Structure 1
Amino acid sequence: MAESMQSGDHSEQPEVHFTQYLFVGKEYPNYQPGCWFVHKYYEQSRVTSIGKLAERDNPLVPIELIKKAFDSGMVPNPETLVFALALCARQKKESLRHAAYDAVKTICTTPQHFILFTKFASELAKSAPEPKHGWGSGWRKAASDWYLSKDAMELAKCVTRYKGRYGWSHKDIIKLSHPKTTDIAKQAVLKYILFGLKVAKQEFSDKPDAAEVLEYIQKVEDFKHCEDEVVAGRLLEIHNLSLEHVPGHLLKSREVWNSLIPTMSITMLLNNLQRIHNIGLLKPYAVEADKIIDVITDKERLIRENVHPALVLITIKNYEKSGKPLSYEKQKVKDAAKKPSPPPIRPNRKIIETLYKTLGYSFDLQILKPTGLQYMITIDMSKAMQESRVWQCGNINAAEAGCLIALCLLRCEKNVTVATFKNTGVHIVNLDKMYTNASLGQIFKKMKQMPTGPVNLEKPIIWAAQEKKKYDVFINVVDVIDKRFGNGSRIDNPRRAIKNYRSKMSQDNAKLVTCAMTTPQIGNPIDEDKNVLTICGFDANVPKIIEAFARSLF
C-alpha cells in the first residue's frame, strides 16, 4: 500500500484518499485550520475518490468508512462526514444511496447536522449534470425517519432549540418530507412546527397524550417572548433551557447569563468567555466571575467533557489579549472606516489565574489518551519561533504551540523524546523527573534554554537512524517549510529521510508530522505518502489531528 501511495497514483487508493478527506478536508494529508465553509472544502470536486469507490463491486465502502470515522470521535470537523454522506446519497448506485439515507440518523445526530445534510443534498442535486430538486422518496423517507425516530419530548426540544440553520428551517423540511405518525404527541409537535403553537393547541389541547409536549413548548415560547430580564432568568433556570433558546433581545441580560453560566458546558463557556466579558459581566468582584470559576475548575466536568489543554490555552491567550485578532478582511474594513476602536475592558485577573489552573488540570486528568506509540518531537526554539504568531491563532507564538504539543505527549505517553534543532543534528532535551508534572510555562522556560540552529527536517530522522532508535512517529515543529536555495530546490528532503528510516529500522509504518506554525498553506505534494502529514497553522484541533494520524485512522 505504501509503495502505491508513494508512486503518486491517486486512483489506486481511493479508500485512503476518502478517509483523508473525512479527517482533514482534503484527499491528501494536509490539515489547515480555519472556516472550511469559507475556503470551500464542501464541494464535489474535493472528493473525487467517492466516484471510484462507488464503482466497486462493494459500493457500500464509503458508508463503512464514514461510520468508522464517526465512531472514532476524532474527526475535527464533522461537517465533512455530513457532506460525504450527502455525496453518497447522490451517487448512481441505488444500494449506496439507500445506505446513505439509512445512515442519516446515525451520523446526523444533532439538528444542525441534519439540516446541513439537507442543504448539501439540495445543492448537489441542483448542480448535477441533469439538475433536480433533490426531494425524492429516499430523502423524504430519511427526513421522516430522522424526526420520527425521536420521542415526542426529544423532538420538541430539538425544534425549539434550533428552528433553522444554513438557510433552512424545520418547517421547510417538514413541508417537503411529509412525516406521518400515529403518535399523538409527535403529531402535536409536527403541527407546532408547521402552524405554530396556537393551532397545535387548538387541535391537541383535549388530547392527554399531547399535554406534556404542549406544556413544554408553551414554556419555551413564554421565555422567548419575555421582556422582563429577571423573569426570563428565572424561567431559564426553572425549565432548564440553554443558550440556543435565548432570543436576541436577552443576550446581553445579566440575569439571563447568571442563570446560563452554571448549566453551560465548559467548552461552550470557554468559547463564550470573551463575549460575556465584553458585555461587562466580568468586572472585578462580579458574581458572574465567581460562577465561571466554579464551572471551569470542576475536575469531574473537565474529564466528562474531555476539555483538551489546547482549547484552554487558546482561551487564555485570547482573553489576555481581549479577543481574537481580526482577520485580514476585517482589518481592511476597519482601516478603511478609520474609526478607532474603543479601548477594551481589561481582563479579569482572577479569571486568568483560574484558567491557568484549569490548564494544569486538563494535563493531569484522564483527558489525554495514550496511544502506546514511540514519539520523537523536535521543536525549533529560535527567536523567530518565539516571536512569530501562529496562523489562525494569532495570540499564541509558534514555540508555545510546539511546547503544548510536546507536553501533551509527555503527560500521556511513556516513550517520548523531545529535541531541538542545533547546528549539527539535534539536541536531546533531558526532561527528567523534575519535569514529570511540570507546567507548560516551566517546559517553555526549559526549552528556551536549549541550543538552537538552522532547521533541517531530516535531522531528527537521520539522528534516530544513526542511533538505531525506533520511533513510530516523528513530529517536527517549525515556523515555515518553504525555505529554499536560490536554485529553487529544497534545503532538505524529509520524505526521502523517512523512507530510508523505514527501510533501515524495519519500521514500515513510521510516520512524519510537520507542523508549520506560521505557514498559511502549501501546494499539493508531488510525492503522496499516506504516512507523512503536514499541518499549517494551529488551532484546538491540531493535537487531536496528530493523535488520529498516529493511530492510523487516516
Structure 2
Amino acid sequence: MEPSGSTTIASSNNHTQNSTGGGGCLWEVSEKARLCRFLCYGSEGDIYTAREEGRVSMESAVALLSLLQEGRGAEVVEEIKRFTQDERAVRLGPSFFALALCTQHSELKTRQAAFKALKEVCRDPAHLFSVIQYKKELKEGMKCGIWGRALRKAVSDWYNEQDAMSLAVAVTKCKQREGWSHQDLLRLAHTKPANEAIALISKYVTKGWKGVQVAYADKENSEEVVKVLSYLEVVEKVKHSCDETEVINLIEEHKLEREQLLTDHLKSKQVWRALLKEMPLHSVLRILGRMTSNKILEPGGSETQAVCDRIQSETALKKAKIHPFSILLASENYKRGQGYQGKTKWEPDSSILRAMDSAFYKSFMNVEPVGKRFVVAVDVSTSLSSVVPGTSISTAVAAAAITMIFARTEADTQVLAYSEGALVPCTVSADMTLAQATVELVKIPGGSTDCTLPIIWATENGKAVDMFIILTNNPLWAFTASPVESLQKHRQKSGANSKLVMCGLTSIGHTIADTEDRGLMNICGFDLGALSVIRNLAQDLI
C-alpha cells in the first residue's frame, strides 16, 4: 500500500492500487488504457515498435470489442476523436478501424455517435476512404452491404460541410485510395449537394470536366462557383499542357501541388523548382536527397539558398510544427548521400547541412513541455556505434538527441549515464550542442549493464521522479532487482506516480518484462512516434 503522507493522483483511466507481496504499488492496466494504447499505436500491449505499420485487425482490438459489448461505445468514439484531433495518435489506422467498427455496432447510440464523428475524424479524403474500406472488410462474410441510410448521410455530410475551395483542392489532389474514389462515394451515398459550389465539384467528380463545361457554359454563376470553376479549369489545363513555361506559371500562380501534375511534368527540373517554393516543409525535408541528386538543388544556386532560408526560418518551422527529431532524421539521411532503396546517390550540400543544423536547435520551440520530473539515463555499457534500425542515425547520436530534447524542454530533467555496474558522471546539459552531447556519451567506458541503476539511484538519493527514460542498445538485460520491483519501491518511498520507459534503441522486439503494470512501457527501436508514446504515458493518456 502507499505509505502514509504520500499522495496518489487519480486519472481518467483509474490507477488501481493493490497491495503486493513486496508492499509496492501495482497499477492495473484497465480496458480504457488498453483502448488508448490501441488508438495510439495499434497494439494493446506495453510494446511500441518504431516504424511498424501493419493492417489493423480484430485480434489486436480485444479491449475495444469489450468496451463496445459493455455499452461504452459513446465513450470509445470520444477517445477516437481525442486521439485524432489532439494529434496523440502515432498511427491513424487504428482510429479509422475503431470508428468503422463503432459505425456497425448493434447499439444505436454508438452508431449515431460514430457517424456523427466521421467528419471530425476524417480530415482529408484519404482518411475517409480508409474508414470506408475498413467498413467493407468488417462486413465481408456477413452477406450484407455497408451503404445503409446512416452511412449515406454521413458521407454526404462530409462533402457538403466542407469549404468549397478546400474541397476542390482535396478532390484534385487525392482522387482515389484503398480501392475507392470520390465518384464511388458520391454515387453510393446518393449525395444531394448542399449548395451550388458543392454541386459543381460533385458534377466534376462524377461527369468530368466536359460535363461541367456543358452544364455551366451559359449559366449565371455565383462568385463562389466562378472561383471554383476557374480553379478546376487550371487543374484541367495543367493536365493537358506540354508547355513547361505554362506549367510553371500555373503552379506559381495557383499554388498547384505535385499530386495535381502528370508524371511527365515531374521530369523537368524547372517544374520541381517551382513546386519547391510552396511545398510543405515536411515534404521538402523528405526529398532533399533526390533534389540534390537530380541537380535541382545545386551548390550556390538560388533555389538552394531559398530552401536553406526556409529550412531555418523560425516562422516556417513553427507553422509546420516540425520536431527536432524529424530534422535530425532528415539531416542524417541527407548526410548519408544515398537512399535506402533504389540507386539514388548524391553529394550532400554543405549549405543545406548547415541550414538543417540550425533548424534542429530552432525547432526545440515546437516541443511543448509536459511539466513532469524526468530522469533520462543512457546505458553506455555496449558500444554506442551501432545504428538505430530503419534510420541513418547512430545510437550515440540518437541517445544524445533524446537526452537533449528533454534537457532543453523540461525544466526538471536529470541526465544520467551508467556503465560497469554503476552510474558514472555525465555532464550532458541543456546548453550543449548535439555534437558535444554525443562526445560526452561516447567517451564513457563500457561494461556490464544494469537498467535498474537509475531507479535505485533516485530512490536512495531521495529524488522523486515522475518518468524514468532508460536508453540502451544492449539486447541482454542484467538486473540486480526486477525493474518493476525497483519502480514500486521508488513509488512507495517517494510518493510519486513514477513510470518507466525502456528504450532498446537497436531492438527489433525484445522487452524487459511481461508486466501488467500500467506505468511501464517498452520501446523497440526509435522514431518520432516513440516521443509521442513517452509524452502520452507521462500525461496518463495511455
- Structure 1 residues 453-532: aligned runs within 5 Å: 453-483=447-477, 493-507=482-496, 509-522=497-510, 526-532=514-520
- Tell me how far 1:182 sits from its aligned partner: 4.8
Aligned to 1:441: 435
Aligned to 1:13: 30
Q: Distance in 1 between matches of 2:245 and 2:50?
A: 40
Amino acid at match of 1:62: V
Which of 300, 313, 328 does residue 285 from structure 1 map onto? 300
SS in structure 2 at match of 1:476: strand
Q: Distance in 2 between matches of 1:35 and 1:82?
A: 17
- Tell me how far 1:368 sits from its aligned partner: 1.5
Cα distance change of structure 1 residues 12 and 350 upon mapping to structure 2, 3 Å threshold: closer
SS in structure 1 at match of 2:503: strand
Aligned to 2:537: 549
Aligned to 2:288: 273
Cα distance change of structure 1 residues 524 and 188 upon mapping to structure 2, 3 Å threshold: farther
User: Quick check: 2:381–2:446 contact (8 Å CA) kept in 1?
Assistant: yes
User: Quick check: 2:50–2:524 contact (8 Å CA) kept in 1?
Assistant: yes
- Tell me how far 1:89 sits from its aligned partner: 1.3
- Tell me how far 1:279 sits from its aligned partner: 2.4
SS in structure 2 at match of 1:512: strand
User: Quick check: 1:50–1:88 contact (8 Å CA) kept in 2?
Assistant: no
Aligned to 2:79: 65
Aligned to 2:231: 216
Give unmatched runs, 5+ long, in structure 2: 1-13, 21-25
User: Quick check: 1:417–1:428 contact (8 Å CA) kept in 2?
Assistant: no
Q: Distance in 2 between matches of 1:191 and 1:11?
A: 54
Q: Distance in 2 between matches of 1:82 and 1:72?
A: 15
Q: Distance in 1 between matches of 2:18 and 2:150?
A: 36
User: Quick check: 2:285–2:330 contact (8 Å CA) kept in 1?
Assistant: yes
Q: Distance in 2 between matches of 1:175 and 1:525?
A: 52
Cα distance change of structure 1 residues 480 and 179 upon mapping to structure 2, 3 Å threshold: farther
Structure 1 residues 44-82: Cα deviation after superposition (integer angstroms, max 9, x where no partner)? 221111221112244311011112223432322222222
Cα distance change of structure 1 residues 76 and 458 upon mapping to structure 2, 3 Å threshold: same
Aligned to 1:368: 367
- Tell me how far 1:324 sits from its aligned partner: 4.3
Aligned to 1:418: 415
User: Quick check: 1:32–1:536 contact (8 Å CA) kept in 2?
Assistant: yes
Q: Distance in 1 between matches of 2:502 and 2:514?
A: 16
SS in structure 2 at match of 1:103: helix
- Tell me if 1:262 matches 2:277: yes
Which of 395, 398, 402 does residue 395 from structure 2 map onto? 398
- Tell me if 1:109 matches 2:106: no
Aligned to 2:189: 177
Aligned to 1:251: 266
Q: Distance in 1 between matches of 2:241 and 2:27?
A: 58
- Tell me if 1:153 matches 2:165: yes
Q: Distance in 1 between matches of 2:335 and 2:355?
A: 13
- Tell me how far 1:542 sits from its aligned partner: 2.2
- Tell me if 1:186 matches 2:198: yes
- Tell me how far 1:35 sits from its aligned partner: 4.5
User: Quick check: 1:143–1:173 contact (8 Å CA) kept in 2?
Assistant: yes
Q: Distance in 2 between matches of 1:345 and 1:124?
A: 45
Cα distance change of structure 1 residues 101 and 379 upon mapping to structure 2, 3 Å threshold: same
Structure 1 residues 112-132: Cα deviation after superposition (integer angstroms, max 9, x where no partner)? 1111111111111115xx243
- Tell me if 1:377 matches 2:370: no
- Tell me how far 1:6 sits from its aligned partner: 11
Aligned to 2:9: none
Q: Percent identity?
A: 27
- Tell me how far 1:491 sits from its aligned partner: 7.0
Q: Distance in 1 between matches of 2:284 and 2:344?
A: 24
- Tell me if 1:201 matches 2:213: yes
Amino acid at match of 1:112: A
Amino acid at match of 1:64: E
Amino acid at match of 2:43: K
SS in structure 1 at match of 2:227: helix
SS in structure 2 at match of 1:282: coil
User: Quick check: 2:470–2:502 contact (8 Å CA) kept in 1?
Assistant: yes
Give unmatched runs, 5+ long, in structure 1: 327-340, 485-489
- Tell me how far 1:462 sits from its aligned partner: 0.9
Aligned to 1:24: 41
| C-alpha RMSD over aligned residues | 2.4
User: Quick check: 2:456–2:486 contact (8 Å CA) kept in 1?
Assistant: yes
Cα distance change of structure 1 residues 182 and 99 upon mapping to structure 2, 3 Å threshold: closer
SS in structure 2 at match of 1:376: strand
SS in structure 2 at match of 1:145: helix
Amino acid at match of 1:161: K
Amino acid at match of 1:392: G
Q: Distance in 2 between matches of 1:467 and 1:452?
A: 24
The TM-score normalised by the length of structure 1 is 0.89
Structure 1 residues 492-530: Cα deviation after superposition (integer angstroms, max 9, x where no partner)? 5212211221122212x2110111011111369532221
User: Quick check: 1:517–1:536 contact (8 Å CA) kept in 2?
Assistant: yes
User: Quick check: 2:152–2:189 contact (8 Å CA) kept in 1?
Assistant: yes
Q: Distance in 1 between matches of 2:490 and 2:345?
A: 52
User: Quick check: 1:311–1:540 contact (8 Å CA) kept in 2?
Assistant: yes
Structure 1 residues 289-341: Cα deviation after superposition (integer angstroms, max 9, x where no partner)? 12211210111111222111111111111111124435xxxxxxxxxxxxxx8
SS in structure 2 at match of 1:552: coil
Aligned to 1:352: 353
- Tell me how far 1:246 sits from its aligned partner: 2.4
Q: Distance in 2 between matches of 1:102 and 1:343?
A: 46
